[in-house]
Amino acid sequence: MLEQGDEAGFKKLVDSIDITPDIAYRLIAELKKKNIEFIVAPYEADAQLAYLNRSGIADFIITEDSDLMAFGAKRMLYKLDFSTMTGSELEVDSIPQQRDVNFNWFTHCMFLTTCILSGCDYLNQIAGIGLKTAQKSIGRVTTFRGFLGEISNKSLIPADYEISFMKAFLTFRFQRVYCPKRKACV
């Protein structure tokens, strides 16, 4: 049994859940039977949810995954505890007001670069580079290439990191999603 606050145990539990095509098919059949509207993301569900949120179709997203901010989600309920019905509300517009890191003048691309450098689903972080270090560096140099230029210990950076970074960046920026207003993928 998991103890309350056992983050590592909860993560293992979440990682063990696998939604098979059969489970998805049966859920879709039930939703259709009950005339409940739904959307099946054409590719990445996080990108789809962020799009719905940015478009005003979804007011907020309940999530365990902070990558939604990198996809451009505006408002999320993060780490919802269903037993106490509490979680953290994250709003992109309030990020610049945080004391720990300062994003006051960051563009979305600078914010995204900071997120990727500090570690994301598509690319592991460089040893010793967390959110605060990445934010301070991007705040000084504004770009990923500028960041690479100022790293003093180049041996910390894996050989394929630059190309992997670009793939992650493009994945976050240019996901294909379904637009219910147009009834088409955009």
Residue 68 is predicted with a pLDDT of 87
To the nearest 10°, report the CA torsion of 175, 178, 179, 183: 150
Residue 155 is predicted with a pLDDT of 73
Where do the domains of the chain lie, and which CATH numbers do they carry?
Answer: 1-38 (no CATH), 95-173 (1.10.150.20)
Q: Is 47:71 a contact under the CB 8 Å cutoff?
A: yes
Q: Which two tokens stand for residue 178?
A: 């379904």
Record the pTM: 0.76
Residue 94 is predicted with a pLDDT of 67
Tens-digit pLDDT string for the chain (186 aa): 666 667 777 667 766 778 889 999 999 999 999 999 999 999 989 999 999 999 999 999 998 877 888 898 999 988 888 888 888 888 876 665 555 666 778 888 999 999 999 888 889 888 888 888 898 999 999 999 999 888 877 777 888 999 999 999 999 999 999 999 999 988
Residue 173 is predicted with a pLDDT of 92
- Three-state SS sequence of the chain: CCCCCCHHHHHHHHHHCCCCHHHHHHHHHHHHHCCCCCCCCCCCHHHHHHHHHHCCCCCCEEECCCHHHHCCCCEEEEEEECCCCEEEEEEHHHHHHCCCCCCCCCCHHHHHHHHHHCCECCECCCCCCCHHHHHHHHHHHCCHHHHHHHCCCHHHCCCCHHHHHHHHHHHHHCCCCEECCCCEEC
Q: Is 95:103 a contact under the CB 8 Å cutoff?
A: yes
Class of residue 139 by CB neighbours under 10 A (exposed 0-12, middle 13-18, buried 19+): middle
* CA gap 168, 172 in Å, rounded: 6
